[in-house]
Amino acid sequence: MSLEIKNLNVNIGEKQILRDFSLEVPAGQVHAIMGPNGTGKSTLAKALAGHEDYEISGGEALLDGENVVGMEPDEIARLGLFVAFQYPVEIPGVTIANFIRAALQARLPEGEKIVATDYYKTLRAYMDELKIDRAFSARNVNEGFSGGEKKRCEILQMKMLDPKYVIMDETDSGLDIDALKIVAEGVNNMRSPDRGFLVITHYQRLLDYIVPDVVHIMWDGRIVKTGDKNLALEMEEKGYDWVKEELATAGA
């Protein structure tokens, strides 16, 4: 069981962003990706989620063996992939409660309906756990939320939808230290042998709270270095120039 990405090539318009990108996150593990701005981390997340602007010109993305390349975003999500976005979108006129409910409803077989009381009970419990004011459930999705509130709301959705594989795209950016701990705890509670996480971040700090099994360094559209959690520490210390130099020597 794993999320396996094999030789993925992704273009935006004429520009190639991901180049033969390969990575495997087995269920039960947490992998982290670090890499400079513009290297294609969010592109990876959105391409895997099925965003139509990201053209996949080659390669595979296997969710427990099933290739999701070419599928509609909703199909991929229902198969069990969840992306916590770097920039969550504001949806005017749609409340958090109705939104998550519609997402859960979409996972039920034809003719079955969400039981409202159970639903609200679960929703409230997770909101309490993530220290999100219950009144937020009646607010429009992300509309007027602070950066940190948006990120917490992504994690709330993740918990409600109970996915098999999670990609978190800079969920830590914009969180204060208390919020970071809350979110990390929320994620840690979900770690299980059946679930895999791919955590994109710029900061080693997050990885103190969500301790990764594997750390990857991404550069120019592909993984260039892989190691254990100490790699993140090393990265933070030496900066990306170090990777650049290593690459140059390797290439020479």
Partner 1 sequence: MSVATTTSDTEKFSEENFRHHLDAFWLNVPWVQELKQQNWKTYQELPLPTRSDERYRFSDLRKLKLDGYRPAQEPTEAQKADAIARSNLVGEPAGKVVFGDNFLLEFEGLSEELKAKGVIWMPLQQAAIEHPELVQKYFLEEENQLGSEKLLALHNAFFHGGSFLYVPKGVEIEQPIAAYYWSIECGEAIFPHTLLVVEDNAKVDFVDYYGSLDTGCCSTLSCGVGTIYAGQGAQVFRKIVQNFNEEALSFQLEANIADRDSQVKTIAVNLGSKYARLQNHTRIVGPGADVKMYGLTVSKDEQEFDQRTLQIHEAPHAVSDLLFKNALLDSSRTIFSGLIKVAKDAQQTDAYQTNRNLLLSKTAEANSLPGLEIEANDVKCSHGATTGQVDESELFYLMARGIPRQTAYQLLVFGFFEEIVEKISNEELRENVRKLVQAKFGNEM
Ligand X SMILES: Nc1ncnc2c1ncn2[C@@H]1O[C@H](COP(=O)(O)OP(=O)(O)OP(=O)(O)O)[C@@H](O)[C@H]1O
Query: In whole angstroms, what is the distance from residue 166 CA to residue 20 CA?
Result: 21
41 binds ligand X (CB under 6 A): yes
Q: Which two tokens stand for residue 32?
A: 């982290």
Between CA 145 and CA 149, with CA 147 as vertex, the angle to 5 degrees is 55
Residues with Cβ within 8 Å of 15's Cβ and at least 6 positions away in sequence, in order, are none
Q: Name the E strands within the chain.
A: 2-12, 15-26, 30-34, 55-63, 66-67, 81-84, 165-169, 196-200, 214-219, 222-227
Residue 118 beta carbon to ligand X: minimum distance, rounded to whole angstroms: 37
Within residues 110-129, the interface with ligand X by CB under 6 A covers none
Directed axis angle between helix 96-105 and helix 147-161, to 10°? 30
Nearer to partner 1, 78 or 202 (CB): 78
**Which of the choices Mg ion, partner 1, ligand X, none does residue 85 contact, using the CB cut-off of 5 to 8 A by kind?**
partner 1
43 binds Mg ion (CB under 5 A): no
42 binds Mg ion (CB under 5 A): yes
**Which of the choices partner 1, Mg ion, ligand X, none does residue 212 contact, using the CB cut-off of 5 to 8 A by kind?**
none
Residue 88 beta carbon to Mg ion: minimum distance, rounded to whole angstroms: 13
Residue 86 beta carbon to Mg ion: minimum distance, rounded to whole angstroms: 5
Nearer to ligand X, 127 or 154 (CB): 154
Binding site for ligand X (CB under 6 A): 12, 17, 35, 37-43, 53, 86
